[in-house]
Amino acid sequence: MTIQSILQSLHTIQEWQENTYRHLHANPELSMQEVHTSAFIKDTLLAYGYDVHTIGGGIVGILKNGEGASVLFRADIDALPVKEDTGLTYASHITTKDAHGNPVPVMHACGHDMHIAAALGAAWALATHQKEWSGTYIALFQPGEETASGAKAMLEDGLLEKIPKPDLALSQHVLTTPEAGKVGVKAGAFLSSAASLKIIIHGKGAHGSMPHLSIDPIIIGASLITKLQTIVAREINPFDFAVVTVGSFQAGISANTIADSATLLLNIRAYDETIKAKLIASIKRIAIGECQAGGCLQEPTISISDNFPLTDNDEMLAHQVITAFENYLGKENVVSYPAMSASEDFSYIPRAFNIPYLYWGFGGFTKDQPIYANHNPRFAPAIYPTLLTGTKAAIIAIMTYLKHE
């Protein structure tokens, strides 16, 4: 009954937790700039008695409480360059500046504010109920998830040496399905691996009336974009999952000038690292070939960024946590998820520790609420019951592995 009694105690912090969520929502910070958010998390964990470390822009709170397993639970903390359009009383009016000094609106459009508030609630519960469990609890707050930079930054800043080695890692995300109040879990490959690519085609600019003096990068780029769509259609097994998207194609500024170069931005997704490697190799081959066919004097410049690893849920953890969710949230509130084409960077950390990992979702929208997807300017999950469900799910999963009656 230990877990049940911990869950029942959550009502005592409900108001604080909801206010915390509103505060975080109104004060979002972009990836790897989470200064105030980190400070808030740090102060809160210190007040709960955690041993707190700042690592790679993230915060790790450690609670050593006798013999037993060491369990890591992670929440991501960054927001997005999105202009909020929810009309909420606690909407964000924050703008920051980009590298060129231009204003950039900031919004918690992916619900990471919900993740922080839920993880702080779980941190409170574990600190307050120390007599009822034993082991080590590690609360990890990760920066820069949206740009796939935060997990790597924490590793580069010595995470492996600075904290005790966990036996397993857990994390969660608020999503548009299932309905608020429910959780969704999938064993095995859950979120796709992803990467972004930038291709610069080096042409030769000329007057628009003199095409024979140019090497037109727009013609080469147009052909390249069409050809790139044959990778999934012709080179990948139809039973395997792969996506190749050209999200941006920019060249030239006027009607009567042939551009000197063209820049394409691509995004790719796969559930298998070998398929991801195949996509990248094919993109490079086709880009080089198209530039050669178009008469470019130079090979295209190709760079890779936003490299997200596969999120591959450990089968055993998945089954154990599903059983625990069913016991404490009710069978009707636990759904099984399909694989999703979204991506996440936290897997770098459990991989570096060589420990099993589980990532699940919880619903953010009630039946009578309009649903706007994550990253939409109107993304506005219902605080209740979403925050309570996220907090409960975190505690149930964590406590499954900490020693208790």
Site for Zn ion, rule CB under 5 A: 110
Residue nearest to Zn ion (CB): 110
Q: How far is the CB of 194 from Zn ion (least distance, A)?
A: 12
For Zn ion, give the closer residue by CB, 300 or 364.
364
Q: How far is the CB of 173 from Zn ion (least distance, A)?
A: 6
For Zn ion, give the closer residue by CB, 221 or 381.
381
CA dist 206 → 180, 223, 224, 249 (Å): 58, 20, 21, 20
Q: In this structure, what is the dihedral angle of CA atoms 117, 30, 198, 152, given to the nearest 10 degrees? A: -60
User: In whole angstroms, what is the distance from residue 233 CA to residue 165 CA?
Assistant: 44
For Zn ion, give the closer residue by CB, 82 or 322.
82
For Zn ion, give the closer residue by CB, 133 or 346.
346
Q: How far is the CB of 156 from Zn ion (least distance, A)?
A: 21
For Zn ion, give the closer residue by CB, 109 or 280.
109
Q: How far is the CB of 84 from Zn ion (least distance, A)?
A: 15
Structure tokens at 388: 């309570």
For Zn ion, give the closer residue by CB, 133 or 359.
359
Q: How far is the CB of 208 from Zn ion (least distance, A)?
A: 41
Bridge partners, 193 (sequence order): 270
User: In whole angstroms, what is the distance from residue 104 CA to residue 83 CA?
Assistant: 8
User: In whole angstroms, what is the distance from residue 89 CA to residue 378 CA?
Assistant: 13
Q: How far is the CB of 10 from Zn ion (least distance, A)?
A: 23
Which residue's structure tokens are 């839920």? Answer: 118
